[in-house]
Chain A
Amino acid sequence: MSPADSVDQPIIRVEDFDLFYGGFQALLKVNMSIRPRQVTAIIGPSGCGKSTLLRSINRMNDLAGEVTTRGQIIIDKQPIYGKGINMVDLRKRVGMVFQRPNPFPLSIFENVAFGPRLHLGLSKTALREVVEKSLTGVGLWEEMKDRLYAPALSLTGEEQQRLCIARLIAVSPEVLLMDEPCSALDPIATDHIEELIRELKSQYTIVIVTHNMAQAARVSDETAYFYLGELIEMGQTEKIFTRPQKRATEDYITGRFG
């Protein structure tokens, strides 16, 4: 497969995907393709199913209790719904960043080492290397290298969110899911995290949920607009924001609605 091919081949394919919380249908026959090493933004009004879709991609919805699904999501040719799916493996490949930074109440080092300790069985020196590489990857190494054993909860919000990203890339995932990763941060920190997202996309496929239209426009290559559990329109971000095909999309992004 040539490099050009691999950009065109979607890495995630959502196929006729329905999701029910008990009797309530939160996702309706969603079909979408997400390309590798790009940032895909998911936008839409509150309650339209953005987080639900994101959590379907790493199957965190399984924790929500009475959840049933139909259809399939395929990541890198492997279906993730059905019998004999290895959750540990899936979540290693598909990492998730949460709305509020949620570092563990452990040291900075232990936070980053958490995933590798679970999955990789590294030697002490190899582990340190992974931690250094991951912290460097999120731009925290220089600041943190002298206080790796400080509690992670003593960091600022932005640093905590970076640490949470470092914690993911320490296990070399393919996909990073981010659910409103900047909504608990101030504008400057938001700028910094957006910058980081643009850097990370050279190595990872990123799916980001955001309420901030400008943010979607700034960081994403493709944008998907959801409304009431349905994918209304998806395409190149530039097109979605300048020449949307659907009236509903246009109303939403121009702020006439939502």
Chain B
Amino acid sequence: MKSVRRIWNRIVEFVIEKAIFLAGILSIVFVVLIFVFLLKEGLSLFKEYSPLAFLFGTKWYPISHPPSFGIVPLLLGSVVVTLGSIVIAVPLGVGAAIYVGEVAPVWLREILKATVEFLAAIPSIVLGFIGLVTLVPLVKQVFHLQTGLTAISGSIMLAFMAMPTIVSMMEDALRAVPSSYRYGAIALGATRWQTIWRVMLPAASSGMLAAVMLGIGRVIGETMAVMMITGNAAGIPTSLMQPVRTMTATIAAEMGEAVQGSDHYFSLFAIGIVLFIITFAINLTAAFFINRRSKA
């Protein structure tokens, strides 16, 4: 009786162990497969089309004859919208993180943190829709534009989407600063603001930079909301007040109409590769800052 039990236990152990192993391996396999697929499809473009013309071309005319797959306007579109949103989100995020982490009374702190995290739970399509009916007309009116579907609308919208990441990570970074620094500063006669400004922020700077990087990563990969409110004109942007088209929006908008196996189709995957490399680099930088923080 006892030995049957033991054998049974051993079988269960074995099955569980192998199942967990398989799950772990599978996740890696999927990532590799996705990457290989992306590479294979994307690089197919360059059988017919010069990589230089793709990377440095300033015209995105995928369905004219002959087509032109210059990624520059799309890249700039993404960069402009992203930079704009970071310029908005970082000061707001730093301010909010300082308020939540250092200034607000405890009860309010909890409410604020929950609210910020709730913001992260709103689907981006919903935010995009709200942006379309509220922000876009407002931008048009305030800046006296012909259309409110501009880069700046996208930037403002994306700033809101990046806020949860930025605020909660920055708040963590501030919280991780040893309180002995704070006491040291206060014992030297520093006021609360001087303590935050001269000690807490410099001490938390690595973590705060990581927060910014992850915020950028979040923003640059965002698709639906941007597609809805940035106007999607694939010109080279010269100001924030123009319609732009981002890389993500291009893929999303054109994937449906591109004929499978055509250059247009491959070119969208090539954009995917570029996007992948950018996000990867950003995440790597963020990881570097986080790592530096945990070592310090």
Contact = CB atoms under 8 A, between A and B. Distances in A.
Contacts of B24: none
Contact of A91 (B178, B189, B296): B189
Given A104-B203, A105-B202, A106-B202, A98 B180 contact: yes
Given A114-B198, A118-B194, A104 B189 contact: no
Interface residues of B, number: 18
Interface stretch (A163-171, A202-210, A238-246): A163-171
A115 B190 CA distance: 8
A91 B181 contact: no
Nearest to A92: B189
A110 to B, nearest CB: 9
A91 B191 contact: no
B52 interface: no
B183 A102 contact: yes
Contact of B188 (A105, A153, A168): A168
A117 B197 CA distance: 13
Contacts of B258: none
Nearest to B204: A105
B190 A104 contact: no
A88 interface: yes
Interface string A174-206: 000000000000000000000000000000000
B117 to A, nearest CB: 27
B199 interface: yes
Main secondary structure of the interface of A (DSSP, over half): helix
B196 to A, nearest CB: 13
Interface string B172-202: 0000001011011111111100100011001
Contacts of A146: none
A8 interface: no
A105 B178 CA distance: 10
Given A102-B180, A102-B181, A60 B186 contact: yes
A160 to B, nearest CB: 11
26 contacts: A58-B187, A63-B183, A89-B189, A91-B186, A91-B188, A91-B189, A92-B188, A95-B187, A95-B188, A98-B180, A102-B180, A102-B183, A104-B184, A104-B202, A105-B203, A105-B296, A106-B202, A114-B188, A114-B190, A114-B198, A115-B189, A118-B188, A119-B189, A153-B296, A164-B184, A167-B188
